[in-house]
Amino acid sequence: MKNYNILNNDYFCHVMRIDIITVLPSLLESPLSHSIIKRAREQSLVNIQIHDLRPYGKGKYRQTDDYPFGGGAGMVMMIEPIYRLIEKLKKERSYDEIIYTTPDGLPFTQKEANRLSCLRNIILLCGHYKGIDQRIRDHLITRELSIGDYVLSGGELAAAVVTDAVVRLLPGVLSDETSALTDTFQDNLLAPPIYTRPADFRGWKVPEVLLSGDPAKITEWEEKESLSRTERLRPDLLDPTMGSR
């Protein structure tokens, strides 16, 4: 049975603020300026601020990366620029989480999106190159999240994914708030099949129960289909011991 108590307006008496730190702010402009997130920002349901790390860089050229100690290929994001920017933000407000997006972080799940959506202020730090100086992770970061077991060119796309998943859960963002509660992965189940008009297309018919107008029968069908799809396609959601982590 779906849990319809996740989105509780008592938790959302504030406007959530998300600060994103990146060396490529333009990469985030498009995904955070359209559709649902655009409307949420315009309606002041969420405050998203993108911070360019380069002005906090070192020297004449605002350097933000350097070669790793011990040798090896690739560059590492330096501690000083990140420290300066995070400390500046922390002087302006308190943060519930300072999150680093990294392939070796905890898997980002719907449960985690639900949790983050209940917070007031969060920072998302986008990694780049070979990653960030470990001391940042040891002393500044409160949580590390991964959107999958693969490596991207930078953490910007991961930050956009996390932001999108969290913002759509905030009250008022979706016209029908219960829509988010019936999404795949709520209650660790895949969503059931969905259909729209026409009811019969080239002999491909919509299940009769969905046309019955009987809410109880429809709910029962959806729950059975949801469980069946999960068992068939993602059994690891029902039995965590089957997962890769």
Indicate where the chain has its CATH 3.40.1280.10 domain(s).
15-167
**Can you give the pLDDT at residue 183?**
58
**Can you give the pLDDT at residue 113?**
97
Determine the CATH number of domain 15-167. Answer: 3.40.1280.10
Which position has the higher pLDDT, 58 or 166?
A: 166
Indicate where the chain has its CATH 1.10.1270.20 domain(s).
182-242
Tens of pLDDT, residues 109-130: 999 999 999 999 999 999 998 9
pLDDT band per the 50, 70, 90 thresholds, residue 8: very low
**Can you give the pLDDT at residue 245?**
43
The span from the CA of 170 to the CA of 47, in Å, is: 12
Q: Name the strands in the sheet holding 97-107, side by side, starting at the edge strand that comes first in the sequence.
A: 46-52, 16-22, 121-126, 97-107, 143-146
Judged by average pLDDT, the poorest of 99-103, 174-178, 219-223 is: 174-178
**Can you give the pLDDT at residue 179?**
55
What is the model's pTM?
A: 0.85
Bridge partners of 62? none
**Can you give the pLDDT at residue 3?**
43
**Can you give the pLDDT at residue 181?**
56
157 has pLDDT over 60 = yes
180 has pLDDT over 80 = no
- Out of 1.20.120.420, 1.10.1740.10, 1.10.1270.20, 3.40.50.720, which CATH number does the structure's domain 182-242 have? 1.10.1270.20
Tens of pLDDT, residues 73-87: 899 999 999 999 999
